[in-house]
Amino acid sequence: MTELKNDRFLRALLRQPVDVTPVWMMRQAGRYLPEYRASRARAGDFMGLCMNPEMACEVTLQPLERYPLDAAILFSDILTIPDAMGLGLYFETGEGPRFRKRIDTLADIQALPIPDPQQDLGYVMDAVRTIRRELNGRVPLIGFSGSPWTLATYMVEGGSSKDFRKSKAMLYNDPQAMHLLLDKLADAVIAYLNGQILAGAQAVQIFDTWGGNLSADAYQKFSLAYMRKIVAGLIREHEGRKIPVILFTKNGGLWLESMADTGADALGLDWTIDIGVARSRVGSKVALQGNMDPSVLYASPQSIREEVARILASYGKGNGHVFNLGHGITPEVDPAHAGAFIEAVHELSAVYHDPSAVAL
């Protein structure tokens, strides 16, 4: 086992002392980087990039060559599980992900297999192993999955949706069918994330992108309940280290207390809630990750620096903060602005930590 040279990300997730606030960016390997666009062109298409472990490793490491980030995140897609269930994932230019088959009936759901991580998603496991080898202890590697509710929306809608009319119709008209789908997806996510952990992922994040579009009651029953099941089923220690779990519900600020009760180690926050308010609500139960509006990266480096300073001040002194954007970095961002953001986090955060408390 290669010793980690920089473990401040893992330490922060476990609310342990760090020297500066660690930082990474959702979608940090992506279209804003010219080197990523070149790799994707060589791969032919997005899925060609995802399904080639060497190329997935290449693009995972690209942002680390530019920036002093404190974590790498596996380059993949949240829809690999539905694809492995036989729905036929593809991407239409300008329209996002689509499926060749759509889930519409109870019989469709009953026929769905639970993918085997090694057999059906082996290319992801190979990518994790390849990335861990190439990182060589430089920073930790994050694995991830979509949440059951988020995956279900794509499967029932057949792709992206603005109003989730088919998913919500199933939820209210046939809750038994929706619960069966979500339960199967939870089992699949548990197997998938545990496979990533055994392959070398050192922390995992569950992306609940569309949970915030549910009513308060439906969120608890149809999203959070299944994420709670996933957290309970995950491997929490491997290679002699704890494996932190991050739960991220976009627009989930209303439900922080119940999210903190799932057993997750950290909650990801979008930019619609003040991080200081969130900290006061969850106390020391979980770490917090976030939460700058990605659009701030369109502003000047000085404005970016001021917003970083504001968020750091709002969180305040002490442990348990991982700096991130409130959602993924967008394709039109100037890479130099992303660099200014990361530099500001490291430079401005030192005063919020006690260096004498950090174990060397």
Q: Compare 94 and 323 and report the one with higher pLDDT.
A: 323
Q: Is the CB of residue 142 less than 8 Å from the CB of residue 74?
A: yes
Outline where 202-274 has alpha helix (H). 216-219, 225-233, 256-260
How confident is the model at residue 260, as a pLDDT?
Answer: 98
Among residues 8, 15, 70, 77, which one is catalytic?
77
pLDDT at residue 289 tops 80: yes
Q: 246-274 burial, b for 16+ CB within 10 Å, e for fewer?
A: bbbbbbbbebbeebbebebbbbbbbbebb
Averaged over 252-269, what is the pLDDT? 98
Q: What percent of the chain has pLDDT over 90?
A: 93
The pLDDT tens digits of the residues spanning 125-142 come to 999 999 999 999 999 999
Q: What is the pLDDT of residues 41-57, one digit of tens each?
A: 999 888 899 999 999 99
Q: What is the pLDDT of residue 360?
A: 41
Q: Which of 12, 10, 29, 31 is closest to 20 using CA atoms?
A: 12
Q: Band the pLDDT of 69: cuts 50, 70, 90.
A: very high
What is the mean pLDDT of the segment spanning 219-223? 98
**Nearest-angstrom CA–CA distance, 307 and 10:** 24
Catalytic residue of the set 31, 66, 138, 241: 31
The answer, yes or no, to whether the previous bond of 291 is cis (omega within 30 of 0) is: yes
31 is catalytic: yes
Q: How confident is the model at residue 358 (pLDDT cuts 50, 70, 90)?
A: low
pLDDT of the residue at 96:
82
Question: Binding residue per annotation — 29?
Answer: yes
**Whole-angstrom Cα distance, residue 281 to residue 273?**
11
| 209 marked among binding-site residues | yes
| pLDDT mean across residues, the chain | 96
User: Choosing from 32, 36, 67, 154, which is the catalytic residue?
Assistant: 154
Q: Catalytic site residue 165?
A: no
Residue 313 annotated as binding site: no
pTM: 0.96
DSSP state of 140: -
Is 31 annotated in a binding site? The answer is yes
Average pLDDT over every residue of 82-111: 91
Q: Does position 240 have pLDDT exceeding 90, yes or no?
A: yes
Are 46 and 91 in contact by the 8 Å Cβ rule? The answer is yes
Residue 260 near residue 241 (C-beta atoms within 8 A): no
Between CA 265 and CA 272, with CA 267 as vertex, the angle to 5 degrees is: 170
Domains and CATH numbers, the chain: 8-357 (3.20.20.210)
What tens digit of pLDDT does each residue of 15-50 get? Answer: 999 999 999 999 999 999 999 999 999 998 888 999
In this structure, the strands spanning 141-146 and 203-208 are: parallel
pLDDT at 92 over 80: no
Q: Establish whether 30 is an annotated binding residue.
A: yes
Select which of 40, 66, 129, 241 is catalytic: 40
- Amino acid in position 162: K
Question: For residue 2, what pLDDT band results from cuts at 50, 70 and 90?
Answer: confident
Query: Exactly one of 8, 11, 15, 27 is catalytic; which is it?
Result: 27
Is-catalytic flag, 27? yes
Range of lowest pLDDT (1-15, 308-322, 323-337) = 1-15
Q: Give pLDDT tens digits for 147-198.
A: 999 999 999 999 888 899 999 999 999 999 999 999 999 999 999 999 999 9
- Give the per-residue pLDDT at 257: 98
Distance CA 248, CA 24 (A): 14
Give the CA distances from residue 70 to residues 25, 28, 262, in Å, rounded to whole numbers and listed in that order.
10, 12, 26
Q: Could you report the per-residue pLDDT of 328-356, keeping only the tens digit for each?
A: 999 999 999 999 999 999 999 999 998 77
66 is in an annotated binding site: no
